[in-house]
Structure 1
C-alpha cells in the first residue's frame, strides 16, 4: 500500500528507533530517582530539553514534555488561563482549530469563560482586523493554530503575535502540523506558548512537548504533581523523549531542502488533476507544502477514501482525530461550504517517502474513481 497520510502520523525514522532502543537499555532509570542511575536519566532529559528549545529559538526552562499534541494543547491552555483568570475571562480562538482545542474552548464556555471564535476566509485565513476588534479589556488569552491540519493553510503568525503582544494578550499556537515542516521561531513570531508532537515528525507516538515562555506565569492543572516541574503527573518517558528530539533535530536540519522537494511534488499533483472534477482547498500561497485538501465533485469523501484504499492508497477524509464523526468537516463549513459539499472533502499528505511516481499512480486512481461515478450516474 502507498501511504499518503503523513499528516495523520509518520513512521519512526531509523535514527529515532535506534536512539529509543539504546536509551531504553542504558538510561532506564526514573529521572526523578536520586541514585546515580536516575541522575543519568535526568541529565539526558536536561540535554533533550535544551536541544529541543534551541530548535524553536526558545529557552530550556520553557520546555515541558507531554504525551502528545492534544495533551499539550489542553495543559498549555488550562495552566495559563487559570493563572491569569483574575485579569479577565475573555478568550480568543478560531473556528478551525484542532478538535482538542475546539472542544476544550467549548467546555471552557460552560466554566464561565467568554470565547470569541474568529471566522476565516474561503482560504482558511483569519482577518487581522477582526482579531483586533475582538480584543477587549477582559481578553487574557488567544489560541490560534500555525497551520490547519486539513487544508494546510498557514496563518500570519508573526502579525498575530504583534497584535496580541501590543494588547497584552498571551498567545498560544498549535504548531503540531508545522514544527519540522516550516520554520517555527517563538521569538520572531511572538509566540508565548506552543504545542508540538513527536509522531508527526518521524518520532514515537505518545510523546509531545509544550513550550511556555519562562516569563509567563502558569498554574499546575494537577495538584501536587511533581514531574516536569509540576506541569503534569506521570513518570517521564526518557527513551521516547530522546527519540523525539533525535527526530526533531533530523527533520529541522533538512527543513529547507525537504520543503522545496515537497512543494515540487505538490505542484506536480496539482498540474495533473486540472482536468478532473476536483476543487483544491486552502490558500494558494500560504500553505504547508505537504498537505493537499480537495473536494471531489459529487462524491462523498468517505467513498473516495475507501475506493483509494481498495486500490492500495492510504488517504484520509480530514483530521485523524475526527474519524467516525458523521458531521461534515468544521473547516469546510468555516470556509463557506454547504454541508453536502463539505462531505466531499478528502486529504492527502506527503512525506519523506513520497515520490512523483506514487503521485502519478494516485492521479490515475482518482481518474478511475471519477470515471466510474460518472458512468454510474449516466446509467
Structure 2
C-alpha cells in the first residue's frame, strides 16, 4: 500500500509503540490513586507535561491532556469563553477552521455569545486588515488555525497576535496540523492557547493537549471535574500520553530532516506534473506560506472523490480533504475560500507526505493519474 494521507493520521512509530506497550503492561495504575501504582502513573504524566511543554516553549503547568484534537479545540474555546467578563462576549473565528472549532463557537452562540466568522483573502490568508475589521469593543476571544489541514496554508499568527494583545483579547490556535511538522512555539506565535493531537505525530490515537498560558482566566466546561486540574473529567490515558511525549521527542530530533524530505517530494511531484503534462493545478504560488508535507490539487475533469476511489483501487491512499468531514460530498469551505467555483472545488484532492514517503510512491501515484487520463480519452 502507498500511503499519502499523513495529514489525516500517521502510523505509530516504533518508539511510541514500545512506550505504549510498556506503560500499558507496567504502569496501569490510575494516576489519581494515592498508592504506588498511581504514583508511578502520575510520574509519567508529570514527565510528559514537562516534555511537551518544553517543545512548545511553555510551562508544564499549562499542559492539559485531552482525548485528541477535536476535544482540545472544544474544551479550549469553551473554557476560555467561560472565563470572559460579561462585557467581552464576542468571539471571532474563521470560515476555514476544523469542524470542532465551529461546533464550539455555535455552542457559545446558543448560550448568548456573539460570534463572527471571518473569511480569508483569495490566497487563503487572514490578514491584519481582515482581523481588525472584525474586532469590536466587546471582542474577548479569537480562534484562528495555525495551518489548514486541507490546503496546507499557514496563517501569519505572529503578525496577528500583537493586534489582539494590545486590546487584551485572548488568542487560541488549532495547531493540530503543524505540531511536529514545523516549529510551534507559544512565544514566537504570541498566542494564549494551543490545541494539538497525538495521532498526527506517530503516536496512538486517543490523546491530545491544550496548552493554556497562566494568565488565561478559563473556567471549566464541566463543573466538578477533578482530573487535569478541573479542565476535563475522566481517567487520564497514561499509556497513550506517554507514547505521545515519546513520539513528539523523536519528531523534534528529525524535524529539519523531515522538512527537507517533504520539500524534495513536493518539488519532485510539481516537476513531474509538468513533465508528464497532467491537467492538475496545485495551490502553490508565491503568495502563500505552505506546509511542506501537504499538496492541494485540482484534477481537471475528475471529481476528487472519484480520483480518491480510483487511487484506492490501485492501493494508494490520498484524500479529498479533511478526514473528519469525509462523509459529506460538498465543496470544502477551506477550498471555496480560495475563490474557486463549486465545480473546481469538487475536483480537489490532497496528498500529504510523512516519514515513509518516497519518490517511488509519487511515481506510482502519477502513473495512476496518467491511467485515469488515458481512460477518459478512451485510449
TM-score, normalising length from structure 1?
Answer: 0.97
1:197 deviates by 0.3
d(CA) in 2 for partners of 1:111, 1:160:
27
In 1: Cα distance, 2:374 partner to 2:144 partner: 40
CA distance in 2, matches of 1:26, 1:230: 27
Corresponding position of 2:313: 310
Q: Residues 127 and 160 of structure 2 are in contact (CA less than 8 Å); yes or no, is this contact kept in structure 1?
A: no
Distance change in 2, residues 1:241/1:283 (3 Å): farther
Q: Using the alignment, how far apart are the partners of 2:376 and 2:121 within structure 1?
A: 31
CA distance in structure 2 between the partners assigned to 1:369 and 1:313 by the alignment: 14
Match of 1:106 in 2: 106
Please state whether the residue corresponding to 2:140 is helix, strand or coil.
Answer: strand
In structure 2, the residue matched to 1:266 is 266
State the Cα distance separating 1:283 from its structure 2 match: 5.2
- 1:167 Cα offset (Å): 1.6
Instruction: Name the structure 2 match of 1:362.
Output: 365
Q: Is the 8 A contact 2:120 2:130 kept in 1?
A: no
Distance in 1 separating the partners of 2:364 and 2:34 = 56
Deviates more, 1:11-20 or 1:99-108: 99-108
Taking the aligned partners of 2:330 and 2:364, their CA distance within structure 1 comes to 31
Q: Where does structure 1 lack aligned partners over 5 or more consecutive residues?
A: none
Q: 1:367, 1:244 → 2: CA distance? A: 39
Q: Which runs of 4+ in 1 moved over 6 A?
A: none
Partner of 2:137: 137
Would you say 1:339 and 2:346 are equivalent positions? no
Instruction: Give the corresponding residue for 1:299.
Output: 302
1:194 and 2:197 aligned? no
User: 2:375 is matched with which residue: 355, 372, 375?
Assistant: 372
**CA offsets 1:260-297 (integer angstroms, 9 cap, x no match):** 11111101101111221111125545110101111111
1:351 equivalent in structure 2: 354
Aligned pairs for 1:66-77 (under 5 A) are 66-77=66-77
In the comparison of the two structures, how many residue pairs are matched?
376
Structure 2 counterpart of 1:276: 278
Unaligned runs of 5+ in 2: none
Cα distance in 2 for residues equivalent to 1:215 and 1:107? 24
